[in-house]
A and B are shown apart, each in its own frame.
Chain A
Amino acid sequence: MNENLHWIWYAFSIAWVVHILYLVSISSREKKLREQMDYLKTLLQQYESKAGRT
């Protein structure tokens, strides 16, 4: 019976690795979007302040 223990280990490890990788992928995509958003907001502010001066 115990000779099958490693299959349980593989199954549960794979399941958790898949979920953890998915969480990491969401979090890295969020980080990228946040950086883009900050950059675009700064750019927009620069455009607006230029337009205000002219």
Chain B
Amino acid sequence: MPAETQEKALPIWLPAVTVAMLLTSLYLIFVWAPNERTMGVVQRIFYFHLPSAFTAFIAFYIGGIASIRYLIGRDNRFDDLSVAANEAGFVFAIVNLLTGMMWAKPVWGVYWAWDPRLTTTLLLALIYAGYLILRQSVVEPGQRAVVCAVTSIFGMVDIPIIYMSNRWWRTQHPAPVLFGGEGSGLATDMRIVLYFTFASLLFLLWCLVRYRRRLEAMRREVDGLRQTIHAL
């Protein structure tokens, strides 16, 4: 049995630390963070909305870099890492879009606006939805890995465009609160809550990627067993 499928999916401390951090972040969001002056209580969605986006970006970059490594060395472990990171990233991107819609409705009066930030984020989610569909539809493993690696690298290109979109085109989406230049910024206690939630979601990403990566190694082993039996 390959070492990747033999090893335990997660060391016990990792989900324990993740759950503790997520619970603490919920406490910080709902109890500790102050109410924002203009939007009031609904602004607390921000503490989950923004870190979900950044976690998705990091996951997609991990997936993209793993894809580049796969294309260079054709090492299946990088293909496993790429699919694990991209799938988890897709989940965070969906959470980002949905929490954004729940925030937009009371603040803008609509769930969705075709604003550059929202549109480019939706495009990113669609690229990775395409990636996951490709993963299921290309049968030959080598070809599947190459096609998906190229899609993953292509998907990464959208991330800097999303990041810059509300700096380049000022429409519906609020201006950046972090690294947004003069007039931007957050109160210290708000920043603590935001960074802590971001760290919690990074731990959650770590758990999900490790768990999903092991699944991919198992799938590879099942394919190998099938080929051996067919050859007999």
A binding-site residues for B, Cβ under 8 Å: 1-2, 4-5, 7-8, 10-12, 14-15, 18-19, 22-23, 26, 29-30, 33-34, 36-37, 40-41, 43-44, 47, 51
Cβ–Cβ contact A1 & B102, under 8 A = no
Q: With contacts A7-B42, A19-B95, A40-B225 known, is A14 near B102, CB below 8 A? A: yes
The 8 Å CB contact of B95, one of A5, A18, A33, is A18
| B contact patch SS | helix
Cβ–Cβ contact B41 & A33, under 8 A = no
CB distance from B213 to the nearest CB of A (A): 10
Cβ–Cβ contact B218 & A1, under 8 A = no
CB distance from B118 to the nearest CB of A (A): 16
The 8 Å CB contact of B103, one of A7, A23, A33, A41, is A7
User: Could you give, for residues 196-229 of chain B, a 1 whenever the CB lies within 8 Å of some chain A CB and a 0 otherwise?
Assistant: 0000000010001001101100110110011011
Q: With contacts A40-B226, A40-B229, A41-B225 known, is A4 near B42, CB below 8 A? A: yes
10 tightest A-B CB contacts, nearest first? A11-B102, A1-B40, A4-B42, A40-B225, A11-B99, A11-B45, A33-B218, A4-B106, A22-B91, A15-B95
CB distance from B172 to the nearest CB of A (A): 17
Cβ–Cβ contact A4 & B99, under 8 A = no
Cβ–Cβ contact B98 & A11, under 8 A = yes
User: Could you give, for residues 161-176 of chain B, a 1 whenever the CB lies within 8 Å of some chain A CB and a 0 otherwise?
Assistant: 0000000000000000
Cβ–Cβ contact A19 & B204, under 8 A = yes
CB distance from B227 to the nearest CB of A (A): 10
The 8 Å CB contact of A33, one of B42, B212, B222, B232, is B222
Cβ–Cβ contact A11 & B48, under 8 A = yes
- New A-B pairs, 18, CB < 8 Å, besides A23-B208, A33-B215, A34-B218: A7-B42, A7-B103, A8-B42, A10-B102, A11-B99, A11-B103, A12-B99, A15-B48, A15-B52, A15-B95, A18-B95, A19-B91, A19-B95, A22-B88, A22-B91, A37-B225, A44-B225, A44-B229
| Chain A CB within 8 A of B117 CB | no
Residues of B within 8 Å of A2, CB to CB, are 41
User: Could you give, for residues 94-119 of chain B, a 1 whenever the CB lies within 8 Å of some chain A CB and a 0 otherwise?
Assistant: 11001100110110000000000000
Residues of B within 8 Å of A23, CB to CB, are 208, 211
CB distance from B144 to the nearest CB of A (A): 17
Residues of A within 8 Å of B208, CB to CB, are 22-23, 26
Cα-based distance from A41 to B5 in the complex (angstroms): 14
Cα-based distance from A15 to B40 in the complex (angstroms): 20
Cα-based distance from A5 to B106 in the complex (angstroms): 10
Cβ–Cβ contact A15 & B222, under 8 A = no
